[in-house]
Structure 1
Amino acid sequence: MRVLLLGMGSRGDVQPLVALGQRLRRLGYAVSLAAPGDLAHVVAGSGVDFEPLSFDLEGPLREGSGREALRGSAWTQVAEARLMRQVMAQTAGALASDVSCLVDEADAVVSGALTFDLVDALLAGAGGRGRRARPRDRSKPHLYAVFAPVWPSAHGSSVALALRPRSTSWANLAWSSLAGRVALDLFRPAGDLVRARRGLPRQHFRDCAAAAERTPTLLAASPSVVPRAADWPPALRQTGYWVRDDAGREALDPDLEAFLSAGDAPVFVGFGSMPTPDPGGAVRDVVAVLGRLGLRGAVSEGVAGLTVGDRSGGAAAEVRGIGPAPHDVLFPRCSVVVHHGGAGTTAAAVRAGVPQVVVPHAADQPYWGRRMADLGVAAPPIARKDLTPDRLQRALEVALSPGAREAAYALGERVRAEDGAGDAARMVDAYLSRRSSGPTTSD
């Protein structure tokens, strides 16, 4: 049986699926992973077949107008949402055509947040409209994979977007449901295009919610970090993080290896794919704070544009600018991880057992920052627009405290003991085995 994994999005949307694909291959499945063409390097060497989509995604998001819009998301999420809607609209035709061909060739499909509605449209029945339409072609199994707790919930600690993050409230359920409506509007262009071509009605939010509720859903987030909510639907199953078989085996750049070996464990600073309005000023602030605290630093220059500049002599002598590096290898050798709060980066820092400073820029990042603070491994998150040298210094002092270090170490041990990708693969296998043994009444 061939299982198609759809990795539309950035590296953080693709890398966990590589881990799932490796585990499914162990169970005897043929696995292909579709993702934007510029993410081939994320899949390379994994043993999972790569199916490049006919467009790049990370590059356009990080250049020109895309870069400017993401830079604006450091101050407001409106620009980020506008950019995502624009990207999904511009790629709708190519995405619909690519995924349609790939779904036709697959025996089962695992989609993500950006492709769920598209796959639902491709598998929709062609007979009738509205309430009389067949909800789904049940001959082809469809599963849904998410990497953040985006399902609407009243429990603030278990939903990424909550008005009252540390309590259980109807306001959280209402607000996260509204966020789901907004997300559907952002992600639906390709699905709308398929339905229009097939003469099917455009989905209302309630239709999409019903489809998601009956679709087996895998949440790839450790229960030690995201507590299970009592109001999640039965179709939602939680596992630990999905980590590649070969995690931790990649070699670091020789220069970085030499830097790490030359002194105390440095503070890692990196904001992933989140550009910042004043990268030069941000680096100067980081260098100044690390200098005051007597700490070494490794600054990920990358997309955020955090260029350290002169690496010899002066205040920056113990602050090194670095290129891309495997987090699962680098983070365990750092004293603190300062990051933007992306789901994948947070998971890597948790697994490393290292305290953190979270500087959220957008989307679900504030949630991960709050969870790290609630778990005792970080100070309360500092929104990017509120980041100052004094706030950064206070957050680093909290992260370097014995309490935070002990909490991070203990949390890391618990999370590393989980087999999230293996558990997910076994759940997929059990579901597909049930489906192949006979007809079912629901997904």
Structure 2
Amino acid sequence: MKDHGTVTAKMSSEDQPPPPYEAVPQESDGIRVTDDGRISIDTSSRLCRTLSRLIPAAPRQSLRPPPSYEDLVPTPGFNLNIVIQIVGSRGDVQPFIALGTELKRIGHRVRIATHNVFEQFVTQTGLEFYHIGGDPADLMAYMVKNPGLIPSMKSLRGGDVQKNRLTMAEILHGCWKSCLMPDPVTNKPFVASAIIANPPSFAHVHCAQALGIPLHLMFTMPWSPTRAFPHPLANLYNIPPDQDWINPVSYSVVDWLSWQGLGGVINDWRKHELGLEPISLSDGPFLLRSLEIPYTYCWSPGLIPKPEDWPANADVCGFFFRDPPDYKPTPEVAAFLSAGPPPVYIGFGSIVIDDPEKIIAILLQAISETGIRAIISRGWIKLTGPELPHILYLDDCPHEWLFQHVSAVVHHGGAGTTACGLRNGKPTVIVPFCGDQPFWEDMISAARAGPDPIPYKQLNVSNLVHALRYCLTSEARQAAHIIANKMQKEEGVKAAVASFQRHLPHFAECALLPQFPACWRYKKGKRRLYLSKVAAEILIENGMIETKKLKTYQPSPIHIEKSRWDPVTGVYSAGMGMTFDILKAGGDIAYKPYQIYKRGTDGNISPCSRQSDSEQGSSQQLLAPPTPVNNGNSVPSLRKARSMNDIRLTGDEPESKEKGKALAMASASARASGRLLGKFASGTMVDVPLAAAEGFRVLPGLYGGTVHERERVKDWKSGLLAGVKTFGISMGESIVDPLYQPYKGARDGGAMGFAGGIFRGTFGTLAKMGHAGVSLVAYPGQGIKRSIQAAFNESTRNGIVVSMHGEGQYLLNECRGKGLQDGMVIEKFIRLGQEYDSGDDSDYV
């Protein structure tokens, strides 16, 4: 079974939740967020130099080609429920439709989870659709204002940031529902077996952790650190001669700053909906890297080869192209194309900007000066102008068909549009607005298939005329045709499917119905076996097993743990985190009742209080299940109050209102007092001792000694075992080390080695005695804490279990309709039990 392992944090002052966007500094030690939201990095700064020392030298590797589809051995051998989560524009969704179509063709069940404006676009291809919320037009407008993921000061002042945070909270909630909820149209149950996602959907790794299923990321821009090129959202300056370390640092800087804005929203969602522990500031930005999540990059290796320092879990497979649509041009389009030489295509797709009039004026003037014919796509900003014989204004038309009939293309640089233009051998002018568009701009220019970059804010008649004239040269046409010839040999979608299946972990098969994947672990006494949803439902219906004996099977568990550099910094950072939590809870003892008092006197929360609620609880409100609207034919739905703060007083008597308000204020104060005591107890009995234990555990690594893997703590039982086991091992080594280390040093290094061995033995004895002593408190305490947290998060696990049983019952009815007999499954279950009792447990775990 593949285990994504444990994420270890190298710094621990991040026990506090990340600050909101407003707290992100616009300039700090050589890193500056520019007016357009991109990240400007001074590579000569002390911070960048420090980060460079933390980046290990990546070994050069012999690059293997993209996975071969023809040689692929079907893995895991049965069909999976795959949800593909996508946040973005139509250009982001379209490649995944091609991928989903191929996955469905080979037998998997595929659900596309994205924004509702793309529902028809998805369903007309025969794939399932699930709405995750969010308006891509709003997201695109935000991205145009902030091309990097970091907000500009203009966006901060305009309130765009808070709106974006609320939108992302809605999307996180929708992505989680897409893993568990039935099909909205057919009501067919669905529980995800694997997740494919683009990185900006953000929910992916957290949903995968909650379900214990594999995750595979696919994207159209680099998201993995490399020395080959910097992060597409970073602008580097003051680059020194020894620049080999600079490009990887740019990825770390962008990841860290990006987490600042969404870390609080994500942690709120993890806590309230997924029942997971929050992620620290050091873990959050680098979570995907630490977990070694596989990536597939959707571009042509003929245009951008896979960097030599990318790991084996990253593949460059080629652009994703869907099957050409059956398109017949309208008479207007056909007449325009036949009326003269091939026109130039100009369009900016789903880009949303504030001044389309300025854009159309520049386009018309440039077209006039170059004397070309042009097709202008209206797009989301509805570009239009005067009717002219040499210009055609066009609404929706498939690029796969249209680009065969043009001489060059001018667009915003979306990966899909870029790929389509290059595949047809068309010289390309890119006017980038945001996201990965500058990256494609640079790649096109470097290949000489297009002119030098023209950023959107620098677009004018002069440079557009120059760019158009270059695209009409033989040099540009030849460069574009060279790329097109390479792309004709690639099958990006099939290679991506092979990449996905190659990186899947081992899926256990059902012990009773091997054609189905295991979803349950069954335990009775010493008997343990894997069961599919169908087999489990048969056994439950026939009284062969108890439902409570079933535990969910996780083929790809994800464990996120903090670690420390040493006991001093570990205890200090854990103590600071505890202090922050205690001070916040102490302040709430008075502040929460004051909020309720203001509600009662003003009818609304004061502006200050409203902002606090927005910051702290916006995601919780959005994550609450939607309440059905009362249409007059039914009784209004009721929901359970989350707290006394949610109680609305309906009595007409002033005395009743006052008593209710006083009760709510007292309750809020009591809850805050309880949180204060809880934070104090958790900090002193668990967090600080655990930080010390982990610091002592890794201390031998500072002098080259052995650092033992930490025991996995899931509940109070495993915590107690980990404490006892760690105590025994560490105490034993602390006794042996003073004798063994000098002997080993003398054997390997003579007199100098003997002296070093004395130091290592003495230092190691202190470290291991400290680890042994503290572990007896730390690990059992951590286990008790996790058992308590699990008890409070039963609703999440129950929701998963209910969805799994629902799908099992649906699949069982389908299988019975196809001839499946319950008796066959029951007979095999009884036989396996008899074989196990007789000592043959080959089919058991």
Tell me the TM-score normalised to structure 2 length: 0.46
Partner of 2:298: 220
Q: Which amino acid aligns with 1:211?
A: L
For 1:393-432, list aligned pairs within 5 A.
Answer: 393-432=465-504
Alpha-carbon separation, structure 2, partners of 1:187 and 1:250: 42
The CA deviation at 1:119 is 2.7
Q: Which amino acid aligns with 2:167?
A: T
Alpha-carbon separation, structure 2, partners of 1:352 and 1:281: 30
2:356 matched to 1:271? no
Q: Which amino acid aligns with 1:179?
A: V
2:383 matched to 1:306? yes
SS in 2 for 1:114: helix
Partner of 1:102: 178
CA RMSD of aligned residues (A): 3.1
- Structure 2 unmatched runs, 5+: 1-79, 181-190, 510-517, 519-554, 560-845
The CA deviation at 1:72 is 4.2
> Does the 8 Å contact 2:258/2:285 carry over to 1?
no
Partner of 2:286: 209
> Does the 8 Å contact 1:369/1:381 carry over to 2?
yes
Q: Deviations over 1:43-98 (max 9, x none)?
A: 13222111223x35124447xxx4xx566458998459869854552234433333
> Does the 8 Å contact 1:267/1:295 carry over to 2?
yes
Partner of 2:833: none
The CA deviation at 1:355 is 0.1
> Does the 8 Å contact 1:150/1:161 carry over to 2?
no
For 1:183-198, list aligned pairs within 5 A.
Answer: 183-188=258-263, 191-197=266-272, 198=275
Q: Deviations over 1:337-366 (max 9, x none)?
A: 111112222112111210011111223212
Q: Which amino acid aligns with 1:154?
A: R
SS in 2 for 1:169: helix
The CA deviation at 1:22 is 0.9
2:99 matched to 1:20? yes
2:87 matched to 1:8? yes
Q: Deviations over 1:208-252 (max 9, x none)?
A: 4243451111111111222211222322111101111x2253334
Evaluate the alpha carbon distance shift between residue 183 and residue 221 of structure 1 in structure 2; reply closer, same or farther with a 3 A threshold. farther
Partner of 2:229: 156
Question: Which of 235, 242, 245 pairs up with 2:320?
Answer: 242
Evaluate the alpha carbon distance shift between residue 96 and residue 343 of structure 1 in structure 2; reply closer, same or farther with a 3 A threshold. same
The CA deviation at 1:29 is 0.7
The CA deviation at 1:434 is 3.8
For 1:32-431, list aligned pairs within 5 A.
Answer: 32-53=111-132, 55-61=133-139, 66=141, 69=142, 72=145, 78-79=151-152, 85-86=161-162, 88-104=164-180, 105-116=191-202, 118-124=203-209, 139-156=212-229, 161=234, 163=236, 169-188=244-263, 191-197=266-272, 198=275, 200-213=277-290, 214-244=292-322, 246-308=323-385, 310-311=386-387, 316-431=388-503
Alpha-carbon separation, structure 2, partners of 1:322 and 1:12: 18
The CA deviation at 1:266 is 0.8
> Does the 8 Å contact 2:226/2:310 carry over to 1?
yes
> Does the 8 Å contact 1:145/1:218 carry over to 2?
yes
SS in 1 for 2:216: strand
**Which range moves more in the overlay, 396-405 or 155-164?**
155-164
Evaluate the alpha carbon distance shift between residue 71 and residue 176 of structure 1 in structure 2; reply closer, same or farther with a 3 A threshold. closer
Q: Which amino acid aligns with 1:397?
A: R
Partner of 2:593: none
**Which range moves more in the overlay, 206-215 or 263-272?**
206-215
> Does the 8 Å contact 2:213/2:557 carry over to 1?
no
- Structure 1 unmatched runs, 5+: 126-136
Q: Which amino acid aligns with 2:93?
A: V
The CA deviation at 1:281 is 3.1
The CA deviation at 1:406 is 1.1
SS in 1 for 2:200: coil
Tell me the TM-score normalised to structure 1 length: 0.84
The CA deviation at 1:430 is 3.0
> Does the 8 Å contact 1:301/1:321 carry over to 2?
yes
Evaluate the alpha carbon distance shift between residue 207 and residue 293 of structure 1 in structure 2; reply closer, same or farther with a 3 A threshold. closer
Q: Which amino acid aligns with 2:252?
A: S
The CA deviation at 1:184 is 3.2
> Does the 8 Å contact 1:74/1:277 carry over to 2?
no
SS in 1 for 2:326: coil
Evaluate the alpha carbon distance shift between residue 81 and residue 121 of structure 1 in structure 2; reply closer, same or farther with a 3 A threshold. farther
Evaluate the alpha carbon distance shift between residue 380 and residue 243 of structure 1 in structure 2; reply closer, same or farther with a 3 A threshold. same
Q: Deviations over 1:137-175 (max 9, x none)?
A: 6x411111111112222212786646379x963222222
Q: Which amino acid aligns with 2:177?
A: C
Evaluate the alpha carbon distance shift between residue 253 and residue 152 of structure 1 in structure 2; reply closer, same or farther with a 3 A threshold. farther
**Which range moves more in the overlay, 276-285 or 298-307?**
276-285
Partner of 1:133: none
Alpha-carbon separation, structure 1, partners of 2:235 and 2:138: 31
Evaluate the alpha carbon distance shift between residue 73 and residue 190 of structure 1 in structure 2; reply closer, same or farther with a 3 A threshold. closer
**Which range moves more in the overlay, 395-404 or 141-150?**
141-150
SS in 1 for 2:255: helix
Identical-pair percentage: 26
> Does the 8 Å contact 1:95/1:190 carry over to 2?
no
Alpha-carbon separation, structure 1, partners of 2:556 and 2:207: 20
> Does the 8 Å contact 1:75/1:361 carry over to 2?
no
> Does the 8 Å contact 2:305/2:316 carry over to 1?
no
Alpha-carbon separation, structure 2, partners of 1:236 and 1:269: 34
> Does the 8 Å contact 2:147/2:233 carry over to 1?
no
Alpha-carbon separation, structure 2, partners of 1:188 and 1:441: 22
